[in-house]
Structure 1
Amino acid sequence: MRSRLLILVTAAWLAACATPPKAPEPVVEAPPTPAVEEAPKFKNSTLKYLANRKLKPQPTRPLNVRSRCSHSDAIGTVTRLNMLVKEAEVKSFDAQVSMKGHGVCRFNMKDFKQDAKLPQVLLRHKQENDCTVRMWEQGHNVTIAFNSCHKSCDGKAFDYLWPVVVDARNGRCH
């Protein structure tokens, strides 16, 4: 037992006298090398597909569309539209969208003033500054989108309002 105690005391004494290990030397980083531009690496397969296509931007040109249409979809939304836009100047605009069970939204040119022609037609409500209607062309379709126009709708109908799409070739809405 005494020899064990002597061994433990000696081991403790030697451990107390030991020097701590040296701190690691700081790593010196090499100066950055000039960046070489390489093709972007896409993780998403859709982006990879788009990167290999020769996509061109939509041309910016004055919008020309005439439509007098009515459309109802499978869930009971009924759209009625009468509009004429010549050289990005809105001549007439009257839209009514009824959402079954939610109410009706009404938009009429007399309540709006035109703020922009290009790159998109922009109509701003005369009383509600936040309420805007934008129109733009995508291929053969013209999209009409409504933003912050809650007061142009009954109840919460605006929460269910989607953009109206018109085929510029024949004026049909869908």
Structure 2
Amino acid sequence: MRRYWAILAALVAAGCAEVDKQPEPAAAESAPESTSTAATQPKFKSDTLKYLAKRQIKPQPTRPLNVKSTCSHKDAIGTVTKLDLLVKEGEVKAFSAQVSMKGYGTCRFNLKEFEQVEKLPQALLKHKSETGCSVRMWEQGPKVTVAFNGCPKSCEGDAFSYLWPIMVEAKSGRCF
């Protein structure tokens, strides 16, 4: 048994040993074709990065948010959303949201209870009295997202645990 533990300790110690890096073979340096193809095609560590590289995804431009919406929506499970929103050049002029979740309660948000602290890259509203409560608004392609963070006191019961962001179509003002 002692021999087994001695061998195991030697293997663990050998696994921790550092090995010097071996120089690259000279054949790879002499072939200019292989270096030019390697320079044009980046090497990716995962299949996800390879997939994203093929899609030609461009970053969302940073610009002031402009959206107007007065809408209401009822989804398949009975959640009713009512939104009144006006944002011009990143400044929130009007904001009132009410989300009623069947069986859980209602969440209510009103601009009077918030102060705007940022315009770019996202419109950010912080609650005046509820620490940690914030509302963010940002553009995602043709849609605008209105997301709520850390605002359980703005909701009845456990409704905040079931609150999802409100999505608005920027051109039509339709919400869902």
TM-score by length of 2: 0.77
Q: Once the two structures are superposed, what CA deviation does each residue of 1:129-159 show, in whole Å capped at 9, x if it has no partner? A: 2000000000110000000000000000000
Q: 1:32 to 1:154 in 2, by over 3 A?
A: farther
What does residue 103 of structure 2 align with? 101
Q: Which runs of 5+ in 2 are unaligned?
A: 1-9, 25-37
Amino acid in structure 2 at the alignment position of 1:92: A
- Within the alignment, does 1:72 sit opposite 2:74 as a pair? yes
What does residue 136 of structure 2 align with? 134
What does residue 19 of structure 2 align with? 29
Equivalent residue of 1:136, what SS? strand
Equivalent residue of 2:52, what SS? helix
Deviation (angstroms), 1:33: 5.5
Which residue, 36, 42, 47 being the options, matches 2:46? 42
Amino acid in structure 1 at the alignment position of 2:19: E
Amino acid in structure 1 at the alignment position of 2:132: D
Q: 1:173 to 1:30 in 2, by over 3 A?
A: same
The structure whose Rg is larger is 1
Q: Once the two structures are superposed, what CA deviation does each residue of 1:13-38 show, in whole Å capped at 9, x if it has no partner? A: xxxxxxxxxx9xx988334669x985
Equivalent residue of 1:61, what SS? coil
Q: Aligned partners of 1:64, 1:111: CA distance in 2, in Å?
A: 21
Deviation (angstroms), 1:92: 0.5
Deviation (angstroms), 1:49: 1.7
Equivalent residue of 1:159, what SS? helix
CA-based RMSD of the aligned residues comes to 2.3
Q: Aligned partners of 1:33, 1:41: CA distance in 2, in Å?
A: 22
Equivalenced residues, count: 147
Q: Aligned partners of 1:59, 1:165: CA distance in 2, in Å?
A: 19
Equivalent residue of 2:125, what SS? strand
Q: Aligned partners of 1:41, 1:170: CA distance in 2, in Å?
A: 41
Q: Aligned partners of 2:18, 2:73: CA distance in 1, in Å?
A: 70
Q: 1:53 to 1:151 in 2, by over 3 A?
A: same
- Within the alignment, does 1:90 sit opposite 2:80 as a pair? no
Q: Which runs of 5+ in 1 are unaligned?
A: 1-22
Amino acid in structure 2 at the alignment position of 1:141: K
TM-score by length of 1: 0.78
Q: 1:104 to 1:39 in 2, by over 3 A?
A: same
Residue pairs, 1:11-22, within 5 angstroms = none
Q: 1:49 to 1:108 in 2, by over 3 A?
A: same
Residue pairs, 1:47-58, within 5 angstroms = 47-58=49-60
Q: 1:151 to 1:39 in 2, by over 3 A?
A: same
Residue pairs, 1:145-160, within 5 angstroms = 145-160=147-162
Q: Aligned partners of 1:28, 1:73: CA distance in 2, in Å?
A: 60
Q: Aligned partners of 1:55, 1:134: CA distance in 2, in Å?
A: 24
